[in-house]
Chains A and B, each alone.
Chain A
Amino acid sequence: MRNIFIIILYTLRELFARKLFIAFGIISTLAIGIIWMILANGSVMINQFGNANPGYDEMEKIVLGFEVSAILFLSDLFILIAIFSCANLISSMLEKGTIDVFLSKPISRTQLLVGKYLGGVTFVFINMTYLVVGIFLVVSFYFNLWSFTVLLAIPVITFTFALLNIFLIISGLLTRGSALGMIVTYFYFIVLSPILAARDSISNFISSDILKQFLDFLYYLLPQVHDIVKTVFKQILLQNENVQYELLIYSTIFLIAGLAISFFIFEKKDL
């Protein structure tokens, strides 16, 4: 436990030394500032909707909707930058001469890998906390309406990154570089995951049954990143009835299996 904690700490330090915390901090602060300005100038618009004196429920929905769209938009951007930031954590650990030093200490390969993995996840968690709490405070103060459920965005987005980080870890272990990991993860996040999420509508254009089943197979095999963010998150926030909790379960299984595979690859590797 102590070993993992030390590695997490120094992984964050590595990211800090690469000025990534500062970069994220600046982007978040800018985003929060812009939201504040939009609110300050656009308050009249919200009041012009429907009746002049909307009920509390209706008002809460409008505020939540506003927060959710802002956070969803920014979180996509954040995840793109986070992938870029964390892509070389594994390759820098595996550098010849560096890994030799670390593995000569009383730390197991699994502990080292878990530390690096969680280091990346913690990095995203810290930055998302700053962003989401910032937006939450600005919006809530402005409307004097405190919907704490919006803070769920922090774990949901961190979890999304934790899933994508599996791709980074496995590619890093296999190639000792960061390029493949970035390509695979970006491809999955930007292209494949949205396609799989929309496979029902796509199916209408596909005649081959095998292809349809293949898409279904991929959908359940790979983490449902796109759906988790967009659906689960929205459903929870907008108090929708049928929350797809099973998506979380599938993805957690993927996460555990992915970690197990990466431990296995690392354990077998000649360094």
Chain B
Amino acid sequence: MEIIKIENLSKSYSSLKRKNNVLALDNVSLSVERGKIFGLLGQNGAGKTTLVKILLGLTHPTEGRFSLFGDSTNNYKNKKRIGYLPENHRFPNFLTAYQVLYYLGLLSELNYDGLKRKIFEALELVGLKGVEKKKVKTFSKGMMQRLGIAQAIIHNPDLIFLDEPTDGIDPIGRKEIRDILVRLKNENKTIFLNSHILSEVELITDNVAILHQGKLIKQGSISDLTAIENEYRITTDSELDTFLSKSDFVNFQLKKLNGFTYVLSGTDEDGLNKFVDLLRLNGITIKELIKQKLSLEEIFISLIKDLDKVK
């Protein structure tokens, strides 16, 4: 089921001088399935935050439509089922961490009884136990971020928007947050993640979309995006140089990477199996055989470079 469905969304921020108008989103369409972690990637100023703000009704789209939970009326009552961690969020700084969660919990229609228990659960989950009586104005950046995550999940929402959730958080904390997200996903929650930390996104997301100057330039599952068609890496126990020039395999390209590791390209699975048979016939032991992959970062950078070249 599609939890988020966006059709042809555009947003232009108008300014007094018309030529300074910013087209922050340009005809973006995408959808997010229930129970998935979706990553929205893009450079600074690509329009990621703008997109999320539109979905939450904070900013009005110039054109296009969207629906959340199949409802396109943008009814504020739907927000009971939504959690949001804004970038650079702030809380009333005269309150303590506990009081912030209490206040926001009340607004999330949680009831007085049970709220206290939920607050302590959330504080524990994000690693803020013990500082609940501290005023938030004394919080460090990472502590603020953790509190932001706590308020986004305290009401057990079905759909969670996180804008740079690991911003300012130490490495251990990042791992903890990734674990929380995976846990939420296993509870069939849908997570919409904005990030530029691609190595992290790669670890947990199911699907990603890449925004560039307001346009959606790529979209798909992580495994599809990062896989390279017909390219395998093979490690054996001896030289394969004799095979490099085998006439049966003119379509193959076998490139030496290092030691006894080679990259085999230009063949489908059928050809790959024939090649393996050949190696085995010749008494060569195969130690490792894997499909070649790019990292998300490599894909991202090459995509952006290509686009810049076109210009």
Interface residues of A (CB under 8 A from B): 3, 6, 10, 13-14, 17-18, 95-109, 268, 270-271
Q: CA–CA, A13 to B161, complex, Å?
A: 29
- CB contacts (< 8 Å) of A3 on chain B: these are 107
Q: Are B89 and A106 in contact (CB under 8 A)?
A: no
Q: How far is the CA of A18 from the CA of B104 in the complex (A)?
A: 21
The answer to whether A104 touches B77 (Cβ under 8 A) is no
Given known A-B contacts A105-B108, A106-B108, A268-B60, A100 and B84 have beta carbons under 8 A apart? yes
Which of A14, A17, A104 lies in contact with B83, CB distance below 8 A?
A104
> Is B88 part of the contact surface with A, judged by Cβ < 8 Å?
yes
A270's closest neighbor in chain B, by CB?
A: B59
B260 proximal to A (CB < 8 A)? no
B163: nearest residue on chain A (CB-CB)? A100
Q: Which A-chain residue is minimally distant from B109 (CB atoms)?
A: A106
Known pairs A99-B58, A109-B76; list 19 more (Cβ under 8 Å).
A10-B92, A14-B92, A96-B90, A97-B86, A97-B90, A98-B91, A100-B86, A100-B89, A101-B86, A101-B91, A102-B107, A104-B86, A104-B152, A104-B161, A105-B107, A106-B76, A268-B60, A270-B60, A271-B53
CB of A271 within 8 A of CB of B58, answer: yes
Taking CB atoms, residues of chain A closer than 8 Å to B104 are: 101, 105
**B79 CB-CB contact with A under 8 Å:** yes
Do A103 and B88 touch across chains, with their CB atoms under 8 A apart? Answer: no
Q: When each residue 55-70 of chain B gets 1 if its CB lies under 8 Å from chain A and 0 otherwise, what string results?
A: 0111110000000000
Given contacts A100-B84, A101-B89, A106-B76, contact A10 B59 (CB under 8 A): no
**Min distance, Cβ B19 to any Cβ of chain A, angstroms:** 20
Q: Which residues of B contact A (CB under 8 A)?
A: 13, 53, 56-60, 76-80, 82-84, 86-92, 94-95, 103-104, 106-109, 148, 151-152, 161
Assess A101 versus B53: contact at CB under 8 Å? Given A3-B107, A6-B103: no
Task: Report chain B residues within 8 Å CB of A98.
Answer: 89-92
Shortest distance in angstroms between A107's beta carbon and chain B's nearest beta carbon?
6
5 closest A-B pairs by beta carbon, nearest first, are A17-B94, A104-B84, A100-B86, A97-B90, A105-B107
Which of A6, A14, A95 is close to B107, meaning CB atoms less than 8 Å apart? A6
Whether B90 and A106, one on each chain, are in contact in the complex, defined by CB atoms closer than 8 angstroms, is no
A-B contacts, 6 of them at CB < 8 A, read A10-B103, A96-B88, A98-B92, A101-B151, A103-B58, A108-B76
Which A residue sits closest to B100, measured CB to CB? A101
Q: How far is the CA of A97 from the CA of B107 in the complex (A)?
A: 17
Chain A nearest CB, measured from B50 CB (Å)? 9
- A contact face: mostly helix, strand, loop, or mixed: helix
Complex Cα distance, B53 from A100, in Å, reads 8
In the complex, A18 Cα to B95 Cα: how many Å? 12
| B161 CB contacts on chain A under 8 angstroms | 104
Residues on A with C-beta less than 8 A from B88 are 96-97
* Contact, CB under 8 Å: B56 / A101: no
A10 CA / B99 CA spacing, docked (Å): 10
Contacts of A10 in B (CB 8 A): 92, 103
Which of A3, A104, A271 has the most chain B CB atoms closer than 10 A to its own CB? A104
B56/A106 in contact, CB under 8 A: no
In the complex, what's the smallest C-beta–C-beta distance from A225 to chain B, in angstroms?
Answer: 31
A241 to B214, CA, bound (A): 68
Alpha-carbon distance between A18 and B79 when the two chains are bound, in angstroms? 31
Shortest C-beta distance, A12 to chain B (Å), equals 12
Closest CB-CB distance, B74 to chain A, in whole Å?
Answer: 11
Nearest opposing residue in chain A for B49, CB measure: A100
Q: Which residue of A lies closest to B81 (CB)?
A: A106
A104 close to B56 (CB less than 8 A): yes
Tell me the complex Cα distance, A99–B88, Å.
11
Residues in A neighbouring B109, C-beta threshold 8 A: 106
Q: In the complex the two chains form, is A14's CB within 8 Å of B94's CB?
A: yes
CB distance from A174 to the nearest CB of B (A): 15
In the complex, how many angstroms separate the beta carbon of B142 from the nearest chain A beta carbon?
A: 16
Are A270 and B13 in touch, CB under 8 angstroms? yes
B123 to chain A, nearest CB (A): 17
- B90 contacts A95, CB within 8 Å? yes
Q: How far is the CB of A103 from the nearest CB of chain B, in Å?
A: 6
Contacts of A17 in B (CB 8 A): 94
Q: Report the nearest A residue to B61, measured CB to CB.
A: A270
Kindly list chain B residues whose C-beta atoms are within 8 Å of the C-beta of A105: 79, 104, 107-108
Q: For B103, list chain A residues within 8 Å (CB).
A: 6, 10
Per the bound structure, the CA–CA distance linking A271 and B86 in Å amounts to: 12
Question: Which residues of chain B come closer than 8 Å to A100, judged between CB atoms?
Answer: 53, 56, 58, 84, 86, 89
- A271 vs B84: C-alpha distance when bound (angstroms): 15
> Could you tell me if A106 and B92 are in contact, using CB atoms closer than 8 angstroms?
no
* Chain B residues, CB < 8 A from A96: 88, 90
